[in-house]
Structure formats: structure tokens, C-alpha cells
A and B are shown apart, each in its own frame.
Chain A
Amino acid sequence: MTRGRIAWVLALALALGSDPGSVAAFPTKVGSDPLFVPQASAAQSSRPRSQTHVVTIDGFAFKPPVVTVKAGDTIEWRNDDPVPHTATSTSGGFDSGSIAAGATYRWVARKPGRFDYLCTFHTIMKGTVVVE
């Protein structure tokens, strides 16, 4: 329960667009307490639990075309074009359906793997998500 709640708070903090470095809600005084140092430095060196990676759909292209993420990360597609697009994996995983002009679609990458995807409306548009 507690872990779940912490994860939720972290996810919320990330979703609100806060700096991943400021995720820790209670600042620790690094170095002030010798007993705290190993733990604090471990927390500092570790990556935030999950990140959001933005793929912009612009000019009938996915930018960047390849994103490499960690399991648990979120990929957000933002459609900056004046027409609808989709982000549809050809090997399962995700299918956004129609993303209207100006809209976004989010997918949480749970399992490692390589996901090639395309826009089913404009199959000339291709991209890849690599989940490590």
C-alpha cells in the first residue's frame, strides 16, 4: 500500500512536469549526517523511477523517430499537425487510435522489447520504441 502510494505520488509529480531531480518530496541534507550519506548518494545517483518521453508528431513525422526508454516509463505522443494521426505498434503493445490535431496519447511501457510502429492513416510515417 505504502509503496503503491509513493509510486503514485512520484508518477503524479512527473506527470505535472516537475523537474525529475526535484522528485524527492523531502530534501535530504546530503553529507550533513554521515549515516545518511550512502543512502542519499544512492538515491541521487539512481534515476527517477519513471520518466515521460515526448514524441512530437510534426510535419507527418515522429520526432524523434526512435526513443529508448526503461520499463515503467511513459511515452507521450503530441500531435502538432493539423490532421489526425495514429501511433500503432505493428508487433502489439500499443495502438493510440486516432489522435486528433493538438491532442496527445500516452502509453506506459511495461515490458522490455522493441516496438516498431506507424501511423495507420499515413503509413509513410514510422517510428520505434525500444523498452530496456
Chain B
Amino acid sequence: MKTVPLALAAAFFAASIAAHAQGGPNDAQIAAIVVTANQVDIDAGKLAESKATHKDVKAFGKMMVTDHTGVNKSAKDLVKKLGVKPEDNPTAESLKKGGQENVAHLKTLKGDAFDKAYIDHEVVYHQQVIDAMDNTLIPSAHNAELKALLVKVRPAFVAHLDHAKKLQSEYGK
């Protein structure tokens, strides 16, 4: 039951990324996807910062807020500089929807159950974003600076995934 929102979010995300397959998203759409992907994780991180039980999980939530805010600032600055207006699209929409569902689900949980669900989602979420970056966003990015930004921030998601997996092995049982 608990895994349903996660599976749904993953399915939506995969389907919407596939919907872009023909030609891939344009730069304006990529900008919207990047900003949304960061915002979704900021929202979940804020919740974890206040609701998580384990100190490490709380600290992880706080770091997600800090890091994704930083990444989003650099993305927004670049988008502004390039004069690109982020354009809504199915992938950004599904990310947003998935994020809202995740937060709604997490709000129903307490204690260890919250920590476990939050970390489990973080693992899946970061893996999805990395896959989307590698398979769709980076190859599709037309503007060289946008592509460079994606390549530059990719390791952030890798570091977070690695960290989330470590927490999962401690608190995910």
C-alpha cells in the first residue's frame, strides 16, 4: 500500500519522458523540468527537516533543501541569461504531481515509517532524475550552456543518491 504512490509516480515519470521521445523536449521544456525536479525535492526535504525522527534523515532533508535551492538558482540564472521562458510540459507536470502525492503521503506517516518512506522515495527519485538526465535531458539540450549546466549538476544527484542509499540501508528496514 505504501509503495503505491511511489510506483505511480515512477510510472508517470517514465511515461511522460517517453512521450518526449520524438525529438525530445526543447530547451524551454528542459528548463521547466529542471526547475520542477529541484522544487519537488525541496518540498519533500522541508517536510523531512521538520518531521523526520532520525538526526541523519533530518540532516539529509535539510541538505536536499540547501543543494536543490542552489542548483535551482543556477538554473534560473542561466535561463534568465539565455532569455528562455520555462515551458510547461507533460514531464514537468508529472514530476509536480508525483511530488505533491509524495508529500501528501508522507504527511500521513509518523516516526520510523516516515523516515523509511521519505528515504525510499529519495532513492527512487534521484535515480529517476539521473536516468532522465542521461537518456533525455542532456542529449536533448540544444543550448551549449544549458547542456553544460546539466552536466555540472548531475553529480549532485549522484551524491544524493549515494547518501540516500546509505540511509536506506540503516533506516529502511
A: residues with CB less than 8 A from B are: 58-61, 81-84, 101, 121-125
Contact = CB atoms under 8 A, between A and B. Distances in A.
A131 B158 CA distance: 31
20 contacts: A59-B151, A59-B152, A59-B154, A59-B155, A60-B159, A61-B155, A81-B70, A81-B152, A81-B156, A82-B74, A83-B67, A83-B70, A83-B71, A84-B66, A121-B67, A122-B163, A123-B163, A124-B158, A124-B163, A125-B159
Nearest to B155: A60
Given A60-B158, A124-B162, A83 B152 contact: no
Contact of B70 (A58, A82, A123): A82
B159 A84 contact: no
B134 to A, nearest CB: 15
Nearest to B72: A82
Interface of B: 63, 66-67, 70-71, 73-74, 151-156, 158-160, 162-163
Nearest to A60: B155
B34 to A, nearest CB: 12
A61 B152 CA distance: 11
A101 B72 CA distance: 13
Given A58-B152, A121-B63, A82 B159 contact: no
A123 B60 CA distance: 12
Nearest to B67: A83
Contacts of B73: 82
A130 to B, nearest CB: 25
B105 to A, nearest CB: 27
Given A60-B158, A83-B71, 15 more contacts: A59-B152, A59-B154, A59-B155, A60-B156, A81-B70, A82-B70, A83-B67, A101-B70, A121-B63, A121-B66, A122-B159, A123-B163, A124-B158, A124-B159, A125-B159
